[in-house]
Chains A and B, each alone.
Chain A
Amino acid sequence: MKGVSDERINAPVRGPDEIFEASRLTGDATREDLESIRRRTSVYVYEAPVRVWHWVNALAITILVVTGYLIASPLPSMQIGEATDQFVMGYIRFAHFAAGVVMSVGFFGRIYWAFVGNRHAWQMFYIPIFNKRYWKEFVFELRWYFFLEEEPKKYIGHNPLAHAAMFTFITLGITFMMITGWALYAEGAGQGGVTDSLFGWVLGYVQNSQRLHTLHHLGMWAIVIFAIIHIYAAVREDVMSRQSMVSTMISGHRTFKDDRIE
């Protein structure tokens, strides 16, 4: 392999066939397998609150996208009963607002965890834009995605590209959706209410509610596009990069597939 140093983090002291007795019991462990499990390392990255938040948030966003789309382009008219006995649009809007509350509360919980959690919990909320090295690594990761690098680097938290995407689409994106969403909610809840006193200024700023709807609606598409890229990148990195991805968000542990430095 070109350009990759062959230094070992931990040089073998004993051969693999002398250890891992239990693994050898079933008879399917080859010498390579045993060598591999000895070299693999893992780091505990995502603490439980972060993992729970991730999946609750993912579910809330899925519901918000589906119901939001149906609010904008409602289902074909239904004739279940008289209008008074039928509440199709009402339930869809209810689901949207309920998921909106879950997402909003969750996001504040996540911000709290950024302060009290481990150092990785903080990563999503800032980008080291003045750090030259960050941009260098950003370009490196871009090159990896353009198939211009042979092998990616190891990252414990987000890689620089994912870091930027996470900050833009989740930290800023969700904030934008919350502000516009609650401002829309305040319109329905009525002037003088709690949501109006908290978010009424948004409509005062955008002036026309139609523009506010349009902005909130465009925001949905930004989130949809992010979700596609996010899921693809997570699976691809899981397969092609040097560390685990999908399982990390389940167990919290980032496992590494080799013990080489860089």
Chain B
Amino acid sequence: MRFGRTPEQHAFSEALDDLLGAADVPSAARAWAGDDRSAGLKIWQRLAELSVTGLLVPESDGGVGADPVDLTVAFERLGYHGVPGPWIESVAVAPRLLGGTPEAGVLSRVASGEALVSVASGGRALDADVVEQTYALESRVGLDTPPPPPLVEPGERQRAGVETNTVASATLSRATVGSEQKSVDPSRRLFDVTAGDEVVTLDPRPALELGTLACAAMLHGAGLRLLDDSVAYVKQRTQFGRPIGEFQAVKHLLADVRVALDFAAPLIHNAALELDAEVPTAARAVSAAKVAAGDAAYLASRTALQVHGAIGYTREFDLSLWILRVRALVGAWGTPAEHRARILESLVVEPVETPSRGEI
């Protein structure tokens, strides 16, 4: 039995830290929010050189054909460093979604970092204004039934999102980009989209699961960052003549964050393994990872804000980048309620294998 990252994956993670730690990502994220994408795109190129953009692209298309665990390693670090841009869409979703379709040609350029693409999730697409192409997905219930309303119909967004995650057949189209919507995280540039030229009908689920998994890993990484920054801060901030980290009230808050993050990690790792093995419970595992990572990261953000006090409540202090990012990602790629419902349904409908005594 072996459950955990390989030495190569640890090394990959460290290489990403080296690169991103020196890249002044917070400034790039702020500029991205303010319409200047140059620094963010430069980071995109540097990460492309480390093959991040080609992780899931097959070797035949110039990618590295890595597995979902590698994906989680990369996205955890992207989350940790707060990198802006359509990473989930271009790197986690597009390869599986577009592979084998008439759009597959773009993948080699995705791998090389030349092309960014976006995929609408829940009716809106991230960074549709900078990518080469935005894609939309419409769920198809059956050939004879008319397709349900487009994902962007107001009020229908939530349910449409679930449908694409659970419905086996969807229409992939090149999307028409509409107006921008303001997100709680200013570096998340969201655009309404409508379906345009139809490309193909496909099963979108494997690609969407990879997107959800990447989002979970990103949340986990953001949570780790919030914890690290908070621990550093409470050692240095003094009140009442001592570092505030000496107060048990502060210590306990931070310890609870560590517990939550530590227990999200194995769920993410397992979901990656299950997706790779294409086992029937993979979707449930992905949902569990997303829920746990979202809860842990949100706890980290709440706690980070609280132990920082007023300075954490400001935009100019970098902590806010992660606080706002986490708030947005918690509800992206399926809300906690949707994922919990999916887990519950799976547990109730599919028989759960009870582990043998030896396994307990």
Instruction: Answer whether A and B are interacting partners.
Output: no
